[in-house]
Structure 1
Amino acid sequence: MLGAALPAPARPSQGWKPPRTVTIVVPFAAGSGTDAITRILAQQLEPEWGQPVVVENRAGANGSLAASQVARAAPDGLTLMMTTNTPHAANPALMKRLDYDPVGGFTPIARAGNYTFWLVVGEASPVRSLRELLDRARARPGEVTYASGNSTGIVAGATIARMGGVEMTHVPYRSTPPAMTDVIAGRVSCMVVDVSASLGHVREGRLRALGVTSRERSALVPDVPSLHEAGLPGFNVVAWAGLVGPARMPPEVVASINAVFRRLWERPETVQRLAGIGFEAKTSTPEEFAEFIRGEIAHWGSMVRAAGIEPE
């Protein structure tokens, strides 16, 4: 008598993989820090998925153009966004009207980490310290200008002026690279910019760093003082990035993308590569990232109000 058929041996699940090209939308221009970290991720995802991973730069409206585009995309895992504290935490306080819901319009996938930001001036500037910058602004109210290419630059610049008791004029840009160009050329006095986008300019002497925006010195650039220790006690502005997709993505797709992202992002060689451009890698579960975003919306709203910034 033939024995009963045995069940086929269980095979390990390979998880979801995209059937075709995946697009990761970046809310800032090529050359920005967010662009740099997203291209590192795309390079690693392609061999994992066996599909092209395209980085699409959609700069403008403080990241709102990119966020609106992704919120309207199909929730199939083929359109993702490397978001930051600009579209997903600060914009609700900085803008009177948003074309997207930073909570309900997206599916959080994973936190990516923190940027290191610092205050810089051009090489031709006579300013060599935070104190000298504040003294100059105090002597010439409104003549000292600060550029911004994202919400961190906006909020940190206004907070420096408020805490320093000086008047500085804000010069906004669509993204970081053109803002840096004008600081280097001396057309704008200073800016708060991420190390990821500006480290090369500092190393080559085109920009001079006056202080990092985190309360403590950064392990990534330990020789640069914090603005807190340089003369603004309590100053602490930390920017972050993370991966999101449109709302209502299937849970199995979210879980699969989170798993592959965390495995790639936590590799020592990836952590080291990111650190080399001034980015501190961190990861999370989708649920942890969702809770983090809600908390950051409240936190950045408080900072915007404290800095006296009126929504536009």
Structure 2
Amino acid sequence: MKKIVSATCIAACSSTLLLAASLSTANAADWPTGDVRLVVPYAPGGTTDVLSRRVADLLQDALDANVIVENRPGAGSTVGTGRLARGGRDADHTLLMASPGHTIGAAIYPDLAYDPVEDFVFIQNIIDIPNVMVVPASSPYNTVVEFIEAAQDENMAFSHSGVGSSIHMSGELFKTLTGSQMTAVPFAGSGAALPALLGGDVDVSFENMPTVYSHIKSGDLRALAVTSAERSPYLPEVPTLSEIGEYNLDQFTTTAWFGLIAHKSFPEEGYEAMQEALDEVMERQEFQDFAEQLGAQAGQVEGEAFKQFVIDDLARWEEVAQQAGISQ
């Protein structure tokens, strides 16, 4: 028997769909109702802070609201993140610029007062910045394989910007995968670490692209590889570590990722409004020019896919922290 759908039913269904769409738009338009706070869990001046302030400026236009940047540094990124995790009456208008410190901090400090996954809403990954394996211009090593072969018998010093940074953990991952003899040499930030690298006081580093790009171009540093899954368009002649094909490096892929998260109680209308605003921000030429200055590429994940990315990142760094003996 054929089913006959009446015109009345079609009209009613159409009205329902239109109403749902209009309600969704209205919900997004209802947020924000006041100032938006963007927490940066690091001190002013670093990559996370610079990116956050640029994004905040552009979000103000997209949201038609004040976006106030608030630095809350300490213990990696766990102090600022812990502040967000506690929630409170302003949680519905508070965001945090998360980075690898979100997962690395949880890997190093497993007894944190918050769950790095379940206590948060994951809005959108904004940009990814590869780290670069670099050696001083005076180094005898011209390839990754040459470096690894030497590091089987000779202990190499690698600099990093602080325990638990993506630079530190990239070095530890490289050491674990390749069986290289390497000693971590910590500094108080990349600004302090860079002169030691340029001067040849350390053998290698896995620095963020923005820190070393100009020095690579000037010839003061030699780039052996990038840590991302694909070659960087800013250093197209430099191979990825994963394409080396030896010493387990096919498993090596890391980036300094940056994305916005919120407390688990963050409202649905806020989530929708932020998705729309971020899409607008990332399409603007001034943001794309800014990302290019950082050697960054646009983030590829949002929502549940971003959450799964964080889960996978956490599992990887937990393993590295345990193998390196730096889990506390």
| Interval containing the TM-score (normalised by the shorter chain) | 0.7 to 0.9
Q: What letter matches 1:79 in structure 2?
A: T
CA distance in 1, matches of 2:213, 2:186: 21
Cross-structure match for 2:274: 257
Does the C-alpha gap of structure 1 residues 54 and 264 become closer, same or farther in structure 2, counting only changes over 3 Å? same
Cross-structure match for 1:154: 168
Structure 2 residue runs of 5 or longer lacking an equivalent are 1-21
Identity among equivalent positions (%) equals 27
The 8 Å contact of residues 242 and 253 in structure 2, kept in 1 or not, is answered as no
Cross-structure match for 1:48: 62
CA distance in 2, matches of 1:166, 1:175: 24
More displaced 10-residue stretch of structure 1: 55-64 or 123-132: 123-132
More displaced 10-residue stretch of structure 1: 67-76 or 112-121: 67-76
Matched, 1:114 2:128: yes
Q: TM-score, normalised by structure 2?
A: 0.77
Matched, 1:93 2:107: yes
Matched, 1:291 2:301: no
Q: Secondary structure, in 3 states, of the residue corresponding to 1:145?
A: strand
Cα offset for 1:169?
0.8
Cα offset for 1:97?
2.6
Q: Secondary structure, in 3 states, of the residue corresponding to 2:135?
A: strand
More displaced 10-residue stretch of structure 1: 246-255 or 42-51: 42-51
The 8 Å contact of residues 151 and 181 in structure 2, kept in 1 or not, is answered as yes
CA distance in 1, matches of 2:43, 2:198: 18
Cα offset for 1:272?
4.6
More displaced 10-residue stretch of structure 1: 250-259 or 172-181: 172-181
Cα offset for 1:117?
1.2
Q: Secondary structure, in 3 states, of the residue corresponding to 2:77?
A: helix
Cross-structure match for 1:300: 317
CA distance in 2, matches of 1:135, 1:283: 35
Structure of larger gyration radius: 2
Cross-structure match for 1:214: 228
The 8 Å contact of residues 26 and 55 in structure 1, kept in 2 or not, is answered as yes
Q: Secondary structure, in 3 states, of the residue corresponding to 1:156?
A: helix
Q: What letter matches 1:248 in structure 2?
A: S
Does the C-alpha gap of structure 1 residues 76 and 60 become closer, same or farther in structure 2, counting only changes over 3 Å? closer
Q: Deviations over 1:229-269 (max 9, x none)?
A: 44544142222221012231122122212221122124455
Cross-structure match for 1:179: 193
Cα offset for 1:126?
4.7
Q: Deviations over 1:119-170 (max 9, x none)?
A: 12344545443344334434432x5233244442232212222333221111
Q: Deviations over 1:153-209 (max 9, x none)?
A: 232212222333221111234543333343234443322122134323433444332
The 8 Å contact of residues 122 and 185 in structure 1, kept in 2 or not, is answered as yes
Cross-structure match for 1:311: 327
Q: Secondary structure, in 3 states, of the residue corresponding to 1:224?
A: coil
Q: What letter matches 2:291 in structure 1?
A: L
CA distance in 2, matches of 1:31, 1:124: 30
Does the C-alpha gap of structure 1 residues 66 and 173 become closer, same or farther in structure 2, counting only changes over 3 Å? farther
Cα offset for 1:211?
0.8
CA distance in 2, matches of 1:238, 1:227: 10
CA distance in 2, matches of 1:58, 1:126: 42
Does the C-alpha gap of structure 1 residues 96 and 171 become closer, same or farther in structure 2, counting only changes over 3 Å? farther
Does the C-alpha gap of structure 1 residues 43 and 283 become closer, same or farther in structure 2, counting only changes over 3 Å? farther
- Across the aligned residues of Structure 1 and Structure 2, the Cα RMSD in angstroms comes to 3.0
Q: What letter matches 1:147 in structure 2?
A: H
Q: Secondary structure, in 3 states, of the residue corresponding to 1:221?
A: coil
Aligned residues: 299
The partner residue of 1:196 within 210, 222, 225 is 210
Q: TM-score, normalised by structure 1?
A: 0.81
Does the C-alpha gap of structure 1 residues 200 and 39 become closer, same or farther in structure 2, counting only changes over 3 Å? farther
CA distance in 1, matches of 2:150, 2:181: 10
The partner residue of 2:252 within 221, 236, 239 is 236
Higher helix share: 2
